[in-house]
Amino acid sequence: MTDPVRLTAELVRCPSVTPEEGGALVLLEEQLTDAGFECTRVDRGGIANLFARWGEQGHVQTFGFNGHTDVVPVGDAAAWTKPPFGAEIHDGILYGRGATDMKSGVAAFAAAAIDFVRDTPPDGAVILAITGDEEADALDGTTALLDYMDQANERMSVCLVGEPTCPNHMGEMIKIGRRGSMTAWFTITGVQGHSAYPHRAKNPLPAMARLMDRLASHELDQGTDHFDASTLAVVTIDASNPATNVIPAQCSATVNIRFNDTHTGASLSDWLRSEAARVAEEFDVEADVRIKISGESFLTPPGALSDLVAKAVEAETGVSPELSTTGGTSDARFIKSHCPVVEFGLVGRTMHQVDESVEVAQIEQLKAIYMRILADYFA
């Protein structure tokens, strides 16, 4: 049997800080090829990605896994009590950058897929789509894999993303959707002047304060059946003005919005621009708005896929998982246009932290859950 703990440790020892491959995908490709998977590197834009398929191409019934081997930077290495890439195990806990997010998840589904196709070859195909670009801009990661699949006539019938999904204990949460995410940068330009003669200037600061207040105090919605209420956070306001006797010519601010399926990125962009134009006219200043939509909200309605995963989770953990759309973004936001997708993984309490770690027992349990999902899907 393929040991997911050993594989997790081997992956953690690969220093794959985005965009470095670090040897992680090379290691996975070797193991998957030995197990009979047909592997293809789908590198793009300096990012390493791996596509692996066991079974016939274009088969009607194809189960897919998605995950990433890139990790965030270590940060202050001196603050770590264990080597960030040492994969040391102490008292049943494996330490290292990526131990939680999400080399353990990749190791668990790779080990499950290898053992499943060896022991009970299914009447169908199993696909693993693993990227090295999830923690950064995600421009050349899972999107590159999906582009390759479209061109190569490859398709997943359903997909499970192995991100950490459980807040506190194993089995408590499955993600069936995610909120959308977008950021807007505002610049208001007035006329610089002496603070003793404000009538000779056009102060951008009161205009920006009014705009930020309008945006922050506006209720976007009250939530939907599967989503919490959308949120807008003002994350910075800056005039870069050290002088107390000068009215600056320019002020900038940034907001971040996490939105549910009441909205689209386009509809919120229109609202932000209209509010900025309204304030600019009111204060006789100029307003510029730049917007980046990181992902739209999406939902895989409760049904066959979530039932399949929930049944396996409960069978292995004794916990009936909650179906949730909470949290940040994930690569599921790209996959949702390709096929139905849900997310399930282990407890994510330490992800991105100093001394990131995972319980060894959770890795083994996660592999067992993935094995059961595959067995039930192809039954």
Active site residues: 70, 134
CB 252 within 8 A of CB 174: no
Work out the angle between the directed axes of helices 265-283 and 204-217 (0-180°, nearest 10).
Answer: 140
**Among 254, 255, 268, which residue's Cα sits nearest to residue 297?**
268
**Among 61, 87, 40, which residue's Cα sits nearest to residue 357?**
87
102: cis peptide before it, omega within 30°? yes
Give the C-alpha separation, 100 to 232, whole Å.
28
Tokens 């977008």 map to which residue? 182
> In 10 A of CB 379, how many CB atoms?
7
3-class secondary structure, 287: strand
Residues sharing a CB contact under 8 Å with residue 55, sequence separation 6 or more, in sequence order = 62, 117, 122, 124, 125, 126
Neighbouring-strand partners of residue 252:
187, 238
**Among 188, 34, 203, which residue's Cα sits nearest to residue 110?**
34
- Cα–chain center distance at 327: 9
Residues sharing a CB contact under 8 Å with residue 192, sequence separation 6 or more, in sequence order = 201, 246, 247, 248, 249
Give the C-alpha separation, 330 to 308, whole Å.
21
Q: Give the torsion sign (CA, 19, 22, 23, 28).
A: negative
Give the C-alpha separation, 372 to 238, whole Å.
53
Neighbouring-strand partners of residue 342:
160
